């Protein structure tokens, strides 16, 4: 396997370099945007159907987001390589507040058209964001630190829903019925989402970033825009990527089912509880998989195979579990509604927890894997665009 390459930079003491050009600061910036923009977006999703009473309109909006996302994200790998990752990250942060505003208007007045409009803009801008943030998190650190920084990033993404879930829980703790969440919940989320753009502007271009070992990040830009897109197409059709496409496609497939599951079977405050607690599963699994993937005493292929087998076992187990529970609920005739302390809440909520546990571990594994295949940051930008675009295509099908 190859990896994102680097070349020696100035040999002066690292201490003289600016902290604001260091890898940890760049990761901090990327994590800050992940927390404020997609983190809050995930928090809304953690409520089930974006906090709405009925899942259908919101599911359609999410399908629209991911459909546009899938198209834009593959192309965004090439575009970000031309305009620079800082600009790609900034463009990507613009659409999230509009998505939140759309959910807010749908909550208070059933204004579906604006929700779909905000979803469309979010899908377009988020394509740039997802391609850029993955390239930053994988490509900026040294290869030996990559899985650790991936875990830090996953923690930042999960922290958004955790904080958002705490807000949800505080605003909706007394709501023991199914239905929509309080409108004030959306206002708080929209304000936080608006912080993503100014934070994104703090990111340094790759050529100015230094690593702790003194090396610099290698980048390459094709001669023309057409050459950039041809490079993406050539990579997309390569044998290695074609074999990975099914894994990319199913990596977040559980999200649509989880949202409908929560909306259908859980009270508002139980959904708020889920949006707070479930993300700790992703944090825990991210650091577990990072400890394995960064373990230099093991051969890299052994690390990859062990990680893959463990993750697949968990994911297959959760889908079997879901099938058993769903059959049980259908057999009852009337759909059950679970609150915190009602019978059956534990086994029904635990499914959501372990979906997140296995799903985030699988995501981290895929990012680590494409990082091993990349030859430089530009190549990595193409790879992450393809990964996240196909992943979004899978979510489009899951939400449709």
Residue bearing the bigger pLDDT, 106 or 225: 225
Give residue 263's pLDDT band: very low, low, confident or very high (50, 70, 90).
confident
- Global pTM value: 0.80
- Residue range 35-44: average pLDDT? 83
Residue 53 has pLDDT above 80, yes or no: no
For residues 76-81, give the mean pLDDT: 92
pLDDT for the residue 175: 58
HEC secondary structure over the chain = CCCCCEEECCCCCHHHCCHHHEHHHHHHHHHHHHHHCHHHHHHHHHCCHHHCCCCHHHHHHHHHHHHHHHHHHHHHHHHHHHHCHHHHHHHHHCHHHHHHHHHHHHHHHCCHHHHHHHHHHHHHHHHHHHHHHHHHHHHCCCHHHHHHHHHHHHHHHHHHHHHHHHHHHHHHCCCCCCCCCCHHHHHHHHHHHCCHHHHHCCCCCHHHCECCCCEEECCCCCCCHHHHHHHHHHHHCCHHHHHHHHHHHHCCCHHHHHHHHHHHHECHHHHHHHHHHHHHHHHHHHHHHHHHHCCCCCCHHHHHHHHHHHHHHHHHHHHHHHHHHHHHHHHHCCCCCECCCCCCHHHHHHHHHHHHHHHHHHHHHHHHHHHHHCCCHHHHHHHHHHHHHHHHHHHHHHHC
The percent of residues in the chain predicted with pLDDT above 70, rounded, is: 86
Q: Report the topology of domain 16-208+222-399.
A: Growth Hormone; Chain: A; (1.20.1250)
Mean pLDDT of 101-128: 83
Return the pLDDT at 50: 45
**Closest to 164 measured CA to CA, from 45, 267, 329:** 45
For residue 157, count CB atoms less than 10 angstroms from its CB and return exposed for 0-12, middle for 13-18, buried for 19 or more: buried
Q: Which residues pair with 217 in a beta bridge?
A: 6
Question: What's the pLDDT band for 9 if we cut at 50, 70, 90?
Answer: very low
Q: Is the pLDDT of residue 17 over 80?
A: no
Sequence-separated (6 or more) residues with CB below 8 Å from residue 98: 117, 118, 121, 122
130: phi then psi, degrees, rounded to nearest 5: -65, -40
Kindly tell me if the per-residue pLDDT of 185 is higher than 80: no
For residue 48, is it left (φ>0), alpha (ψ between -120 and 50) or beta?
Answer: left
Looking at residue 173, its pLDDT comes to: 61
Q: Using 50, 70 and 90 to split pLDDT, how confident is the model at 1?
A: low
d(Cα 89, Cα 26) in Å, to the nearest integer?
Answer: 12
- How confident is the model over 230-239, as a mean pLDDT? 93
Q: Average pLDDT of 199-215? A: 87
Q: pLDDT digits over 118-174, tens only?
A: 888 888 998 999 889 989 999 899 877 888 999 999 888 888 778 776 776 676 566
What is the CA 306 to chain-centroid distance, rounded? 23
Instruction: Specify the pLDDT at position 12.
Output: 42
pLDDT band of 14, cuts 50, 70, 90? very low
Mean pLDDT value across the chain: 84
Confidence bin at 313 (pLDDT 50/70/90): very high
- Which is it for strands 215-217 and 6-8: parallel, antiparallel or unpaired? antiparallel
Closest by Cα among 381, 375, 347, 316 to 82 = 381
Length of the chain: 400
Question: Residue 182's pLDDT is what?
Answer: 66
Q: What share of the chain is helix, strand, coil (3-state, %, to 5)?
A: 75, 0, 20
Residue 294 has pLDDT above 80, yes or no: yes
Contact residues for 34 (Cβ-Cβ < 8 A; gap 6+): 133, 153, 156, 157, 160
* Mean pLDDT, rounded, for 264-288: 86
351 pLDDT more than 80 = yes
Q: Which residue has the higher pLDDT, 346 or 65?
A: 346
The SS3 assignment for 296 reads coil
């Amino acid at each position: 396997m190859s990896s994102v390459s680097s070349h020696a930079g100035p040999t002066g003491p690292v201490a003289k370099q600016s902290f604001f050009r260091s890898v940890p600061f760049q990761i901090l910036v990327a994590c800050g945007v992940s927390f404020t923009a997609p983190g809050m977006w995930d928090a809304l999703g953690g409520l089930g159907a974006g906090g709405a009473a009925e899942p259908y309109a919101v599911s359609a909006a999410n399908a629209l987001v991911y459909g546009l996302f899938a198209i834009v994200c593959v192309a965004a790998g090439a575009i970000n390589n031309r305009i620079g990752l800082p600009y790609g990250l900034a463009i990507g942060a613009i659409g999230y507040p509009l998505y939140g505003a759309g959910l807010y208007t749908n909550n208070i007045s059933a204004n579906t058209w604006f929700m779909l409009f905000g979803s469309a803009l979010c899908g377009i801008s988020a394509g740039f964001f997802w391609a850029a943030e993955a390239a930053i998190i994988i490509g900026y650190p040294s290869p030996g630190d990559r899985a650790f920084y991936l875990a830090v990033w996953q923690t930042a993404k999960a922290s958004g829903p955790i904080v958002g879930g705490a807000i949800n829980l505080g605003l909706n703790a007394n709501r023991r019925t199914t239905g929509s969440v309080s409108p004030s919940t959306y206002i708080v989320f929209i304000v936080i989402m608006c912080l993503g753009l100014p934070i994104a502007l703090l990111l340094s271009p790759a050529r100015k970033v230094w690593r702790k070992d003194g090396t610099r990040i290698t980048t390459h830009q094709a001669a023309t825009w057409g050459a950039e897109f041809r490079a993406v197409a050539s990579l997309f059709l390569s044998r290695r990527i074609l074999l990975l496409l099914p894994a990319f496609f199913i990596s977040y497939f559980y999200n649509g089912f989880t949202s409908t599951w929560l909306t259908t079977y859980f009270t508002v405050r139980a959904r708020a509880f889920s949006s707070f607690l479930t993300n700790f599963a992703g944090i825990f699994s991210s650091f577990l998989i990072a400890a394995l993937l960064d373990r230099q005493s093991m051969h890299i292929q052994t690390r990859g195979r062990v990680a893959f087998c463990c993750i697949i076992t968990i994911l297959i187990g959760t889908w079997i579990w879901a099938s058993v529970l769903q059959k049980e609920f259908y057999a009852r005739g009337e759909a059950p509604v679970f609150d915190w302390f009602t019978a059956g809440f534990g086994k029904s909520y635990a499914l959501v927890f372990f979906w997140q546990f296995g799903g985030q571990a699988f995501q981290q594994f895929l990012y680590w894997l494409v990082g091993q295949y990349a030859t430089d940051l530009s190549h990595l930008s193409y790879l992450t665009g393809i990964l996240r675009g196909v992943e979004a295509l899978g979510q489009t099908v899951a939400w449709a």
